[in-house]
Amino acid sequence: MTPLSLVDEKSSTITPSFRAGSGSPVVLLHGITMSWRAWKPVLPFLTGRHDVFAPTLAGHRGGPDLPSDAPPGVTSVVDTLCDQLDEAGIESAHLVGNSLGGWVALELARRGRARSVIGLSPAGTWRARRDLVRLIWMFRAGHMAIGSPHLSWMARNPLLRGMALSQMIAHPGRVPEDEVAELLADFENCALFAALLDGTAALHHLAEFDVALCPVKIAWGQKDRLIPYNRYGRPMRETVRGAEFTMLPGVGHVPMYDDPRLVARTILETTTSVDAAYQVPERPTSRRRSA
């Protein structure tokens, strides 16, 4: 398989996913307001060992529309992702998720689709309601600061680029200029994020997760300013009891740009160990569950 380009020049549409490599399947799941392109720095380190599929989630720029028959939220994203995996011919895979993607990976594992889960600063837990409100207001403030119409000019100014990305990435200068423009465009065109801001999104705490379903590793960015470990990671320990927890030094909430080699190594440590003992399970009779 060959990597898909950012834009299909023939149709002038945004490519909704990436697929390349060979080996056991790995599915990469991005955070809210982002797209599969957030994984671009890590892809070269994974495709030599795995069949890598990075879809853009429902309600995000270039991804499927959110279902019209259910409130926008994690459940509707997971429902659609089950269909995306079916279309890609993936029964089960190592699920790697950042932020919202980590939460989605855990929910997908409940449906029998995971060989392992690696969560990078996964969302879904908080100490108190005020911590959830804080997070929503941070996103709202970011949206107001960035503005709406056309923001590509920000990518050319190092100071403004750093300010725009500093909550997400510990080292904004490591993000290429053209990628900043794409990140900002993803941020501007996220239907799920819009539903979060206007209050129509279904919000709930991650339910307790049984690690007997599959091996789980949670890796938190040591410099995560968006959902710092003490306020959001410690409650995750209580919700995903028995998971392996580790801190990633020198990286922020979206570590793929900060240190792609460290992220790839963190992923491969788990996938290599699990693959050594993995046996293909019997296909479940039903993988989709209604909200």
Question: Which of the residues are catalytic?
Answer: 99, 224, 253
Q: Taking a C-beta distance cutoff of 8 angstroms, is the pair 113, 91 a contact? A: yes
Map tokens 């904004």 to a residue: 172
Strand runs (DSSP E) across 5-154, as ranges? 7-8, 13-14, 17-20, 24-29, 50-55, 93-98, 114-120
Cα 225 to Cα 187, 203, 217, 222, 279: the distances in Å are: 18, 21, 21, 9, 39
Sequence-separated (6 or more) residues with CB below 8 Å from residue 283: 91
Q: How far apart are the first and last CA of the chain?
A: 35
Helical packing angle, 177-188 and 129-146, nearest 10°:
120
3-state class of 218 per DSSP? strand
Amino acid at 203: L
Q: In this structure, what DSSP letter does residue 19 have?
A: E
Rounded Cα–Cα distance for residues 71 and 280 (Å): 34
